[in-house]
Structure 1
Amino acid sequence: MARTLPFALLLLLFSVASLSARAQCEGCVADMNCTVDPPFPTLCPANPPDATSGVYYEADITFWMPVSFTDPGSGFTVDLLQLTITGVSGLPFGLNFTPSEPSGVYYPPVNEYGCGRICGTPLGQGTYPVLITVLAHVNASGFELDVPQEFTTVVNVLPGSGANTSFSYSPTSGCGSVTSSFQALIDGSPSPTSYAWNFGNGNTSTSATPPDQTYDTPGDHVITLETTIGGYVLNAVAVTGTNTNWCGDVEEPDVPFVGCTGSPDPYFVLTNGGGGTFTSSTVDDSNTASWTGLGILLDNPPYSIAFYDEDVVSQNDLLGTYNIPANGEGTYFINVAGGTTGSLQISNEPQQVYTDSDTVTVYAVPDVVLVEDELTGELCVQDEELTSYVWLLDGAVVADANDSCYQPTGPGLWQVVGTNGFGCVDTSNTIVVCPVFELVQNGNVLFVPSGYITYSWTLNGLPIAGNEAFIFFQGDGLYAVTVDAGNGCTITDEYLHDTSGLEEVADDGSRLGVFPVPNDGNFTVVAEGLSTTNVSLDLLDMTGRVVHRQRSVAAQGTLREVVSIDVPSGAYMLRVTDGALVRVARFIVR
């Protein structure tokens, strides 16, 4: 049966540390001043400082293991020959422990001091009961005994101040619609680990890397992840029959011509991968037995279970050994050693549960509506509280236009980009501002601005051939032009030309015009009825000085020449020389 020695203080060291093969916390330094009087196994410090969730933690612990001390319970002198750590379970996930002896085996007669380093980042706050199993080899009153021990302590992890430590996600917020990716951060492998996501949008998942989630409703959407690190637990053992290895002992003699008498007294011994054992109670005088409610965590594989017949006088009889496969939860049926049968019940039960929540925030996108004042033509953003405005004309930003209303400075496609207090933007509807102009006469030329798509001229309602921005007068009457300016803009204008009552002037058939008037130095010269091919264009200021001269070529008596000059504002005269003939037109540069 199990024997207990009251030196639990020494073993508290291992309640705050895990002998996981994954631990990488080497480099501890023992405190050689760690002693007590009278001698007794001592831990320095007695308890490690609290850990904080999400914060890296590292601490060295020294323990003193005197070779000999007095057992306070019995008063006997106990010699501690060897101590083997066989398992640690329940340590907060993320913390590991590396002892100064990698094997976990200590020999106090050789060195009474040992140390270990705890390190890692605990992920979940809370209070965690930790179970430590050891095998102590002691000498008490001349008897050497291997004594299995179980000890429980509590490790506290304080809440951290940062974000959740169970999962990461991105992006965390956005405008209008947000599609976020999620990743669970806690992996308890090789322990079974499960995930239960609730994404706050009606969707759930059990995957460590769930599908991307879309949130298209403004507001806060709370995401919750419950991470469960399980453990395989041996809950029940049953023996349904035994072989005859128990027969023939003093307690159950094999009588000639009669056979085996009596019945076995079965019990079992469960052994883990570190050599630690659990011994069950004994069922007297029965070929069948059952043990329920065991709750033994199988966290240090591989495991084997050996069945024995307990004898008071003779040596206990081995009835068979079953190596438990690492196949997870379920019922395992046993048939070993030629007749020992039974079953094991193993379940997957939560050992540590972490629950974290976080939020995806969707900000509303503004609905920017642009309206035009029918009287003034001013454009304004309608009923929207925005923090900034950027006005666009034909897609280009309009400088120094940053108010909710703006008076268009010219024709084109007008829009505004509005930004609300969350930084979300929206581009308004488009309002077309059509150009405004009038028919202008300059000499015998009637014109409108050039550069538009089509021009349709009429005289007294009858079409005039051509698609130009100008015409020469063809007599008195009502002139009209319809201009397709693009963007759905069609402009129609009229001009009444009436020369009745004016003195007749001889007409040699030649015509000269400049348009537009006034202009900015960029204008078109139109001449008809020229007699030669080579034409000279001279621009004179009001003092008669020639400020610009260029040569042009007329085709079939017609000249259309674009002139671009950089001159001061004022009145100018254009002189066109056609051989011996000179024609003059006056205009204004602004």
Structure 2
Amino acid sequence: MRTISFLLGAALSVGLGLQGLAQCNSCEPDLSCAAADFPVLCPETLADATAGEPYEEVITFNLPPVVVDPATDLSVDLLSVTISSVMGLPFGLEFTPSNADGTYEPGNGETYGCATVCGTPLSAGEYLVDINVAVVASAFGFEQSVDQSFSLALTVLPGDNPDAVSSFELSTLSGCAPLAMTGTALVTDAGASYAWDLGNGQSSNAANPTFTFDSTGTYTVQLATEVEALALTQVAISSLGGGWGQDLDDFFGQPDPYFVLSDANGTLYTSAYGSETQTPTLGGFSIPLDFGASYNIAFYDSDTFTNDDFLGASDFVAEGGGDVTVSNSTTATLTLTSSIVGSFNESLSVVVFDDLDVWLDMDGDGFGDPAVPVDACDPANTLPYAFNDADCDDANANVYLDASPTGEGVDNNCDGVLSPDEMVPCPGDLNLDTQVSVADVLVMLSDFGCISACESDLTSDGSVGVEDLLALLAYFGTQC
């Protein structure tokens, strides 16, 4: 049984700073992906995936060193592009850029990059994968940071068994008491939480618990999984500090504060500035954060003619939703918003036996001897066994129910009849009586002169003639 839901239209949000997502194979960019005067991604649509099946697709991006702003037709130098986050990936898929930090520098000749999307998607659906980037560009000698987003469509088709459990697996589904097993959660995102109900009074909140069924019976093992996403959605500055008021720009009005959010790998996001105010509330963004990760938020005053003023910086840990106050020269309240982006509630049945009747399988063909039952739950048993009694010769691994013929003269398929293709080949035995005699000569004479589909054609020339009769006489008297 399974219940799966997705909220907010995004199955997974990935911040590249902490996790790195290094599970996919490395990639090589497709050099046929060509950009004229603006960055492009190839392909425009990701290849279809299938739920429950491994998937791998390479995305190529071509980043020309000079781009043309489509709004103004002005040429701009593209200095760097940093992948800040990837949103909308289906559960079970991961995104790995060719550069571990997700940063590419077209201005230094790095005009191509790529990323691999890989894994096993858990659920079918239509997804829109948003690749968010922070761009540093230069025009007329001034550098500017701009946030941009690219979207790729991805279809995950239903698998062969759309009702199959996809969010967890068990090391076994049946066995003898006491039965020890391990449960493994397959949704492993940083914001995932787990509630196992083992159907026998035991429960666990671990991702991969180990548990034991001491008594016989049928149990329903259930796992409820919730995936929580965390994002920085607002920064309210209550007091400014640091270097504002100390240069020429500051004499002509109020400050224009903005912030830069970074993690251990570098800058994740640069905000727009609040115009002409010392206490702006900056919003209109949703920056994915990783649970438990450390971040740095630095504050600046945007100046037109002089260098931007540094107003202080603070570290904080993204522990969950709520307000976080930071104060190191500048004081601000950060709003961290948490939301449930997906939930799974699925179950599997486990059968625990006191005794288990199986059958001896000495030849190891997976089919047991009906004459020799075995108790698989007997701890003293060391005999090999099978879960069926469909073997009629447990000393020959080529003999069992519906086995293919081997031409060894044995009843391979256990139907009680020695069919021609099970017999040892006997050239000249046209009537299949295991010997070459006058009876076979008479069969050939009745077929003499045949020129199509001839059963007595011993020379394989498509007809029955003197050559075939001579060949038959060469085998005359053979006992097969």
**Alignment TM-score, normalising by the size of structure 2:** 0.56
For 1:518-544, what per-residue CA distance to the aligned partner results, in whole angstroms no more than 9, with x for missing partners? xxxxxxxxxxxxxxxxxxxxxxxxxxx
Distance 1:274 1:341, change over 3 A: closer
For 1:526-565, what per-residue CA distance to the aligned partner results, in whole angstroms no more than 9, with x for missing partners? xxxxxxxxxxxxxxxxxxxxxxxxxxxxxxxxxxxxxxxx
- How far, CA to CA, are the matches of 1:34 and 1:295 in structure 2? 30
Q: 1:298 aligned to 279, 289, 298, which one?
A: 289
Is residue 320 of structure 2 the alignment partner of residue 319 of structure 1?
no
The Cα of 1:105 is off from its aligned counterpart by 3.4
Whether the 8 Å contact between 2:168 and 2:187 is mirrored in structure 1 is no
Distance 1:157 1:202, change over 3 A: farther
Distance 1:71 1:312, change over 3 A: closer
Query: Which residue identity does 1:75 align to in structure 2?
Result: D
The Cα of 1:195 is off from its aligned counterpart by 0.3
The Cα of 1:270 is off from its aligned counterpart by 2.7
Query: Which residue identity does 1:119 align to in structure 2?
Result: C
The Cα of 1:327 is off from its aligned counterpart by 5.0
Whether the 8 Å contact between 2:259 and 2:297 is mirrored in structure 1 is yes
Instruction: Tell me what 1:455 maps to.
Output: none
Structure with bigger RCO (C-alpha 8 Å, 6+ apart): 2
Q: Highest Rg: 1 or 2?
A: 1
Instruction: Tell me what 2:239 maps to.
Output: 241
Is residue 267 of structure 2 the alignment partner of residue 268 of structure 1?
no
Query: Which residue identity does 2:244 align to in structure 1?
Result: W
Instruction: Tell me what 2:167 maps to.
Output: 166
Instruction: Tell me what 2:62 maps to.
Output: 64
- How far, CA to CA, are the matches of 1:294 and 1:101 in structure 2? 26
Distance 1:289 1:143, change over 3 A: closer
Query: Which residue identity does 1:230 align to in structure 2?
Result: E
What are the equivalent positions in structure 2 for 1:386-397 lying under 5 Å apart? none
Superposition RMSD on alpha carbons, in Å? 4.7
Query: Which residue identity does 1:297 align to in structure 2?
Result: P
Whether the 8 Å contact between 1:251 and 1:311 is mirrored in structure 2 is yes
- How far, CA to CA, are the matches of 2:42 and 2:307 in structure 1? 43
The Cα of 1:206 is off from its aligned counterpart by 1.8
For 1:80-112, what per-residue CA distance to the aligned partner results, in whole angstroms no more than 9, with x for missing partners? 343232333453344334444445333446354
Instruction: Tell me what 1:278 maps to.
Output: 270
Instruction: Tell me what 2:400 maps to.
Output: none
For 1:60-85, what per-residue CA distance to the aligned partner results, in whole angstroms no more than 9, with x for missing partners? 34333344454433333444343232
What are the equivalent positions in structure 2 for 1:407-418 lying under 5 Å apart? none
Q: 2:333 aligned to 339, 343, 351, which one?
A: 343
The Cα of 1:200 is off from its aligned counterpart by 4.6
- How far, CA to CA, are the matches of 1:263 and 1:147 in structure 2? 23
SS in 2 for 1:276: strand
Whether the 8 Å contact between 2:145 and 2:270 is mirrored in structure 1 is no
- How far, CA to CA, are the matches of 1:342 and 1:81 in structure 2? 31
Instruction: Tell me what 1:157 maps to.
Output: 156
Instruction: Tell me what 1:51 maps to.
Output: 49
The Cα of 1:201 is off from its aligned counterpart by 5.3
Whether the 8 Å contact between 1:171 and 1:179 is mirrored in structure 2 is no
What are the equivalent positions in structure 2 for 1:403-552 lying under 5 Å apart? none
Whether the 8 Å contact between 2:185 and 2:208 is mirrored in structure 1 is no
- How far, CA to CA, are the matches of 1:133 and 1:330 in structure 2? 24
Instruction: Tell me what 1:23 maps to.
Output: 22
- How far, CA to CA, are the matches of 1:18 and 1:315 in structure 2? 29
Whether the 8 Å contact between 2:178 and 2:214 is mirrored in structure 1 is yes
Distance 1:322 1:252, change over 3 A: same
Which one has a larger percent strand, Structure 1 or Structure 2? 1
Query: Which residue identity does 1:166 align to in structure 2?
Result: S
Distance 1:198 1:277, change over 3 A: same
The Cα of 1:236 is off from its aligned counterpart by 4.3
Distance 1:230 1:82, change over 3 A: same
SS in 2 for 1:343: strand
Whether the 8 Å contact between 2:125 and 2:155 is mirrored in structure 1 is yes
- How far, CA to CA, are the matches of 1:170 and 1:217 in structure 2? 18
- How far, CA to CA, are the matches of 2:216 and 2:113 in structure 1? 59
Distance 1:182 1:135, change over 3 A: same
Q: 1:228 aligned to 213, 223, 226, which one?
A: 226
For 1:230-259, what per-residue CA distance to the aligned partner results, in whole angstroms no more than 9, with x for missing partners? 3433344343434474346667659xxxxx
- How far, CA to CA, are the matches of 2:158 and 2:192 in structure 1? 22
Whether the 8 Å contact between 2:235 and 2:332 is mirrored in structure 1 is yes
Whether the 8 Å contact between 2:237 and 2:280 is mirrored in structure 1 is yes
Distance 1:294 1:100, change over 3 A: closer
Whether the 8 Å contact between 2:128 and 2:154 is mirrored in structure 1 is yes
- How far, CA to CA, are the matches of 2:282 and 2:303 in structure 1? 19
Is residue 206 of structure 2 the alignment partner of residue 207 of structure 1?
yes
- How far, CA to CA, are the matches of 2:89 and 2:348 in structure 1? 25
Whether the 8 Å contact between 1:170 and 1:180 is mirrored in structure 2 is no
Query: Which residue identity does 1:270 align to in structure 2?
Result: L
Instruction: Tell me what 2:131 maps to.
Output: 132
Query: Which residue identity does 1:303 align to in structure 2?
Result: Y
- How far, CA to CA, are the matches of 1:216 and 1:51 in structure 2? 42
Distance 1:106 1:280, change over 3 A: closer
Query: Which residue identity does 1:193 align to in structure 2?
Result: A
Where structure 2 has 5 or more consecutive residues not aligned to the other structure, the ranges are 1-12, 360-369, 374-386, 389-480
Whether the 8 Å contact between 1:44 and 1:61 is mirrored in structure 2 is yes
Whether the 8 Å contact between 1:217 and 1:362 is mirrored in structure 2 is yes
- How far, CA to CA, are the matches of 2:85 and 2:169 in structure 1? 32
The Cα of 1:347 is off from its aligned counterpart by 5.2
Is residue 334 of structure 2 the alignment partner of residue 333 of structure 1?
no
Instruction: Tell me what 1:117 maps to.
Output: 116
The Cα of 1:322 is off from its aligned counterpart by 0.9
Distance 1:72 1:114, change over 3 A: same
Where structure 1 has 5 or more consecutive residues not aligned to the other structure, the ranges are 1-14, 255-261, 367-385, 389-398, 403-421, 424-590
Query: Which residue identity does 1:105 align to in structure 2?
Result: T
Instruction: Tell me what 1:184 maps to.
Output: 184
Q: 2:348 aligned to 358, 361, 364, which one?
A: 358
Whether the 8 Å contact between 1:18 and 1:91 is mirrored in structure 2 is no
- How far, CA to CA, are the matches of 1:293 and 1:42 in structure 2? 26
The Cα of 1:23 is off from its aligned counterpart by 1.7
Count of residues paired in the alignment = 347
- How far, CA to CA, are the matches of 1:318 and 1:26 in structure 2? 41
- How far, CA to CA, are the matches of 1:245 and 1:111 in structure 2? 36
Which one has a larger percent helix, Structure 1 or Structure 2? 2
**Alignment TM-score, normalising by the size of structure 1:** 0.47
SS in 1 for 2:159: coil
Query: Which residue identity does 1:358 align to in structure 2?
Result: L
